[in-house]
Amino acid sequence: MEKAISVKAMIEEKKSKAGIRRITEKVIPFILFLLAFVSVLTTAGIISTLVYETVLFFREVSFTEFFGTTELKPLSPVEPKFSILPLLTGTIMISLVAMAVAVPVGLATAVFLSEYASDNTRKMLKPVLEVLAGIPTIVYGFFAFTFVTPVLRELIPGLQATNALSPGIVMGIMIIPMVASLSEDAMNSVPNVMREGALALGSTKLEVTLRVVIPAAISGIVASFVLGISRAIGETMIVTIASGSSKNLTFDLTQSMQTMTAYIVEVTSGDAASGTTAYYSLYAVAFTLFIFTLLMNLLARYISRRYREVY
């Protein structure tokens, strides 16, 4: 009798647990959906805010003036001018300097870690790259302003105290871990069979790297470059501290330039009163920056999908 009762109790307990499991299986996906939807709502909120405030700006300033003129004087009491071209020029020039530093150094680092470094060497260099990636950008900014710029002024006559060259170089140093890490991951995904086959045919280690590994991992490598450019375009503190606030349209790296992110910092610092055209201009610039970074990320995804090799 006791055995029958215990069996019945076990059956009831089994049914109870099955019911709880069914409820859990139904509730958990809903909770996960809500948590995932938070990011969608956040993105929608950011975009709607940017679009709304940008529309208010373009009610006061024409597209022709914003994209077709070269003068930017948002706080001028007489006749303020609003042109994004000086900011675009500064952003692109500094980003190009950054990539000129990050691409060769980052790719060389990735090649060494993936193809030449021993396990002990890799274990030693990896934390160093992680330290570079973990340094706050404001520290990089002061490093560019207080160390790199004085050194460059000794080497380059006419270099201003705030310029585009110094923050570009330091920004490139900051991006090296991103380029190196993503490129190394792409190279490590290439099967060893391809390396061994090339070596068996008489290729040297360098030939295997240049003619087999890099072409096979080119989608991931190029995607890392594009993401690095996107990171450079969106950088704020380095350029705010070291590149100055000159709003002149120039291609001279020795001169002071202002980027889109630095302009946003300047406007939000309190110089422009809320509700003014100068205040709304920061949203127009922010929306343009958002479009730039979005296009860069889409380009990186397209390249990685279009040219990805599946082994």
pLDDT, the chain, mean:
84
Beta-carbon contacts of 246 under 8 Å, excluding residues fewer than 6 positions away, are 162, 255, 256, 257, 258
Question: pLDDT by residue (tens digit) across 132-147?
Answer: 888 888 899 999 999 9
pLDDT reported for residue 105: 93
pLDDT at 12: 65
Report pLDDT digits (tens) over 84-118: 999 999 899 999 999 999 999 999 999 998 888 88
User: Thinking of the domain 85-306, which architecture would CATH place it in?
Assistant: Orthogonal Bundle (1.10)
User: Is 234's pLDDT higher than 50?
Assistant: yes
Per-residue pLDDT at 1:
45
Give percent of the chain above pLDDT 70. Answer: 92
Mean pLDDT of 245-266: 86
Between 2 and 158, the higher pLDDT residue: 158
- Candidates 243, 261, 277, 235; CA nearest to 73 is 277
Q: Where are the domains of the chain?
A: 2-60, 85-306
Number of CB atoms found within 10 A of residue 222's CB:
18
Does the structure show a pLDDT above 80 at 7?
A: no
Confidence of residue 2 (pLDDT cuts 50, 70, 90): very low
Q: How many residues does the chain have?
A: 311
Looking at residue 14, what is its pLDDT? 66
Give the amino acid at 20.
I
For the chain, the first-to-last Cα distance in angstroms comes to 64
Give the Å distances, CA to CA, from 136 to 181, 227, 237, 280: 18, 19, 9, 29
